[in-house]
Each structure stands twice: as C-alpha cells, then as structure tokens.
Amino acid sequence: MKEYRDHYFLKAKRENFPARSVYKLQELDAKFKLLRPGLKLLDLGAAPGSWSLWAAQKVGSTGLVLACDLKTIDIALPPQVKFFQEDILNISPNFAEHLQQLGPFDLVLSDMAPSTTGNKFTDQTRSFTLATQAFDVACLNLKPGGKFVVKIFMGGEAQELLRNLKQTFAQVKAFKPKSSRAESKETFFTALGFHGATGGLKEQT
C-alpha cells in the first residue's frame, strides 16, 4: 500500500473521507457543475462512501443520494443518503422499487470498477460491462435534461459507449481528473442534457 500513500491519500485522511477518490468527484463537479442543493442523485459503486459523503454535503438536507454497491459502507452517512448493498448487474425487486419511488434523478454517478486481473483486455471488458449497465440504469432513471458520469477503463470498447452516449445526451466530454493515478487507464465520460427515455434498453426487473 505504500505507493498509494500520496498527497490525495493523506488529504483524504485529514479531511475524514474514506478514500482519495473523493477528489475525482470534486474535480468533476468543479469542471461540469454537477452538484447543487436540493438535487436528487443516484450513486452506483458507492463503497467505501467518499462520493456519497461529498455529494450529500453538496445537495444538503433538501437533496437525496440513493447509493448502492456490492460491498457495504462502514462509515456513518447523513440522513439524505439511502444506501443499499446491491448487485447493479442483477437488480433486486426491492432496489428497483426504490428507484421507481425515489426517481427520476437529476444526476447518475458511476464510479464502478471491476476486480482487476492484471490482464488489460479482461479488465477493460469487465469495465465496459459495468459502464454499459450504468448507462442503461441512467437512461431508465434520469430526468430529461439530467446528467450522467461514468468511469471506464479506456480500450477499444469504450468508443462504443461513447457513441451511445452521444446519441442520448446533448453533450459528452471525456475527462481524467488530476487526482487519478498517472498509471490508471480510467477515464470519466460526463454526459450532459439527457434527451429523455429511449427504447431498446434493458428494463429493471
């Protein structure tokens, strides 16, 4: 773990965030004006909780953060955050019901990443699968005009996701935050101005 104890790691510890990834969201928010008081957002891949914690601070007590992850979150979260331990690739009826009841959302965030194998092609394919599922969930649960941020490991398949995003949103930008590790292949696609629900995407069950 020594190589990970960089400036952002130490800053997160000082500021009581569970992970350095919070600064990626802060950079995305500063660049694209994602968060504001009263916003309703969906946080996919929320563990260990840094994004949900920061988002909750930004949306305030009048906002809502619906968060989920395969792993649990051990930190205390404010009351405007509702967390579910959930497999986004196999959405449970209970979580689907909450999506319907609490949505549609102004913003969907996905910091989901696969368990890496060291094989870049396998890791890129798994990342693409998660990013595509996040895109499907966003299309089903965003308000018209809403925003979507998704992490993906860059590879050949990423261009397919980019094309789909450009067909569904008014504007799409690729952005790698400074707080991402230099060796990381991750990029965040930020899609603004959702056109509204379109056919052909998977329905929640």
pLDDT tens track for 97-150: 999 999 999 999 999 988 878 888 898 999 999 999 999 999 999 999 999 999
Say if residues 102 and 88 touch (Cβ distance below 8 Å).
Answer: no
| pTM of this prediction exceeds 0.75 | yes
Low-confidence ranges of the chain (pLDDT < 50): 1-3, 199-205
- Indicate the CATH number for domain 2-194: 3.40.50.150
Query: Could you give the residue numbers annotated as active site?
Result: 151
Looking from the CA of 92 toward its CB, the CA atoms found within 13 Å total 10
Tokens of 81: 């955050």
